Amino acid sequence: MPLDYEIDHDRKVVIARGRGVLGEDDFFGYQKDVWSRDEVRGYDELVDMRAVDEVILPTADRLRALASLSADMDLKRGTIEGATTKLAVIAPQDFAYGLGRMYEAYRSFQPSSTKEVAVFRTAPEAIAFLGLHGVILDPVR
Protein backbone atom coordinates (compact mmCIF):
# COMPACT_ATOMS: atom_id res chain seq x y z
CA MET A 1 0.00 0.00 0.00
CA PRO A 2 1.50 3.36 -0.94
CA LEU A 3 0.00 4.89 2.22
CA ASP A 4 1.90 3.44 5.17
CA TYR A 5 1.31 4.38 8.78
CA GLU A 6 2.62 3.98 12.27
CA ILE A 7 0.84 4.49 15.55
CA ASP A 8 2.83 6.38 18.17
CA HIS A 9 1.06 5.53 21.42
CA ASP A 10 3.42 7.63 23.54
CA ARG A 11 2.58 10.82 21.65
CA LYS A 12 -0.98 9.73 20.78
CA VAL A 13 -0.60 10.35 17.07
CA VAL A 14 -0.98 8.34 13.88
CA ILE A 15 1.66 9.19 11.28
CA ALA A 16 0.82 8.22 7.70
CA ARG A 17 3.24 8.55 4.81
CA GLY A 18 2.15 8.49 1.20
CA ARG A 19 4.45 7.62 -1.69
CA GLY A 20 4.20 7.22 -5.43
CA VAL A 21 0.70 7.24 -6.87
CA LEU A 22 -2.23 7.28 -4.44
CA GLY A 23 -5.79 6.42 -5.44
CA GLU A 24 -9.09 6.54 -3.67
CA ASP A 25 -8.77 2.91 -2.49
CA ASP A 26 -5.59 3.89 -0.62
CA PHE A 27 -7.29 6.76 1.20
CA PHE A 28 -10.53 4.91 1.98
CA GLY A 29 -8.60 1.78 3.01
CA TYR A 30 -6.34 3.75 5.33
CA GLN A 31 -9.29 5.55 6.89
CA LYS A 32 -11.21 2.35 7.56
CA ASP A 33 -8.20 0.31 8.68
CA VAL A 34 -6.74 2.81 11.12
CA TRP A 35 -9.63 4.86 12.44
CA SER A 36 -11.93 1.92 13.16
CA ARG A 37 -9.50 0.84 15.93
CA ASP A 38 -10.47 1.72 19.49
CA GLU A 39 -6.78 2.06 20.40
CA VAL A 40 -6.46 5.33 18.42
CA ARG A 41 -9.53 7.07 19.84
CA GLY A 42 -8.56 10.64 20.68
CA TYR A 43 -5.28 10.50 18.74
CA ASP A 44 -4.04 13.25 16.45
CA GLU A 45 -3.04 12.50 12.87
CA LEU A 46 -0.18 13.54 10.60
CA VAL A 47 -0.37 12.73 6.88
CA ASP A 48 2.92 13.25 5.04
CA MET A 49 2.45 13.64 1.28
CA ARG A 50 6.01 14.76 0.47
CA ALA A 51 6.86 11.56 -1.46
CA VAL A 52 3.59 11.44 -3.43
CA ASP A 53 3.96 11.80 -7.19
CA GLU A 54 0.27 11.76 -8.10
CA VAL A 55 -3.14 11.57 -6.44
CA ILE A 56 -5.97 9.96 -8.37
CA LEU A 57 -9.40 10.82 -7.00
CA PRO A 58 -11.95 10.58 -9.79
CA THR A 59 -14.36 13.29 -8.63
CA ALA A 60 -14.92 15.94 -6.02
CA ASP A 61 -17.84 13.78 -4.84
CA ARG A 62 -15.40 11.01 -3.83
CA LEU A 63 -13.28 13.51 -1.89
CA ARG A 64 -16.46 14.71 -0.18
CA ALA A 65 -17.39 11.07 0.57
CA LEU A 66 -13.96 10.52 2.14
CA ALA A 67 -14.42 13.64 4.28
CA SER A 68 -17.85 12.39 5.36
CA LEU A 69 -16.55 8.91 6.23
CA SER A 70 -13.64 10.41 8.14
CA ALA A 71 -15.87 12.80 10.09
CA ASP A 72 -18.22 9.95 10.99
CA MET A 73 -15.23 8.14 12.52
CA ASP A 74 -14.11 11.17 14.57
CA LEU A 75 -14.14 11.20 18.33
CA LYS A 76 -17.65 12.32 19.21
CA ARG A 77 -18.39 15.38 21.31
CA GLY A 78 -19.17 14.60 24.91
CA THR A 79 -17.04 11.44 25.06
CA ILE A 80 -14.62 10.80 27.89
CA GLU A 81 -11.72 12.28 25.95
CA GLY A 82 -13.92 15.20 24.89
CA ALA A 83 -11.15 17.19 23.26
CA THR A 84 -10.97 18.08 19.62
CA THR A 85 -8.24 16.17 17.84
CA LYS A 86 -6.08 17.49 15.03
CA LEU A 87 -5.08 16.39 11.55
CA ALA A 88 -2.08 17.99 9.87
CA VAL A 89 -1.35 17.30 6.22
CA ILE A 90 2.11 18.00 4.80
CA ALA A 91 1.65 18.73 1.10
CA PRO A 92 4.41 20.73 -0.60
CA GLN A 93 3.23 19.94 -4.14
CA ASP A 94 0.54 22.20 -5.56
CA PHE A 95 -1.82 19.36 -6.52
CA ALA A 96 -1.58 17.67 -3.10
CA TYR A 97 -1.91 21.00 -1.30
CA GLY A 98 -5.01 21.89 -3.31
CA LEU A 99 -6.64 18.51 -2.65
CA GLY A 100 -5.73 18.82 1.01
CA ARG A 101 -7.40 22.22 1.24
CA MET A 102 -10.53 20.86 -0.49
CA TYR A 103 -10.59 17.98 2.00
CA GLU A 104 -10.16 20.48 4.86
CA ALA A 105 -13.17 22.46 3.58
CA TYR A 106 -15.33 19.36 3.09
CA ARG A 107 -14.47 18.17 6.62
CA SER A 108 -15.45 21.54 8.07
CA PHE A 109 -18.94 21.20 6.54
CA GLN A 110 -19.55 17.82 8.19
CA PRO A 111 -21.75 18.14 11.31
CA SER A 112 -20.11 15.05 12.85
CA SER A 113 -16.55 16.36 12.40
CA THR A 114 -14.63 17.05 15.60
CA LYS A 115 -11.13 16.97 14.11
CA GLU A 116 -9.38 20.26 13.36
CA VAL A 117 -7.79 19.90 9.92
CA ALA A 118 -4.96 22.03 8.53
CA VAL A 119 -2.75 21.67 5.46
CA PHE A 120 0.89 22.79 5.42
CA ARG A 121 3.68 23.00 2.88
CA THR A 122 6.43 21.98 5.35
CA ALA A 123 6.93 19.36 8.03
CA PRO A 124 7.99 21.83 10.76
CA GLU A 125 4.71 23.76 10.36
CA ALA A 126 2.65 20.57 10.64
CA ILE A 127 4.64 19.31 13.62
CA ALA A 128 4.20 22.65 15.41
CA PHE A 129 0.44 22.63 14.73
CA LEU A 130 0.19 19.21 16.38
CA GLY A 131 2.46 20.20 19.26
CA LEU A 132 4.82 17.31 18.51
CA HIS A 133 7.97 19.09 19.60
CA GLY A 134 11.07 17.01 19.07
CA VAL A 135 9.52 14.79 16.41
CA ILE A 136 11.72 14.37 13.36
CA LEU A 137 10.20 12.74 10.30
CA ASP A 138 12.35 10.47 8.20
CA PRO A 139 13.58 12.03 4.98
CA VAL A 140 11.34 11.59 1.97
CA ARG A 141 12.21 8.35 0.15
Q: Give tens-digit pLDDT for 115-129.
A: 999 999 999 999 999
| pLDDT higher than 60, residue 48 | yes
Angle at alpha carbon of residue 46, lines to 65 and 82, rounded to 5°: 75
Work out the mean pLDDT of the chain and round it to a whole number.
Answer: 89
What residues have CB less than 8 Å from 41, skipping those under 6 apart?
75, 79, 81
What residues have CB less than 8 Å from 59, skipping those under 6 apart?
none
The pLDDT of residue 58: 73
Share of the chain above pLDDT 90, in %: 72
Average pLDDT value for residue range 81-86: 74
Alpha-carbon distance of 2 to 49, in angstroms, equals 11
Alpha-carbon distance of 15 to 25, in angstroms, equals 18
The pLDDT of residue 140: 57
Which of the four CATH numbers 1.10.150.120, 3.40.50.300, 3.30.750.24, 3.40.50.1820 does domain 3-130 have? 3.30.750.24
Condensed to tens digits (0 to 9), the pLDDT of residues 127-139 reads 999 999 776 676 5
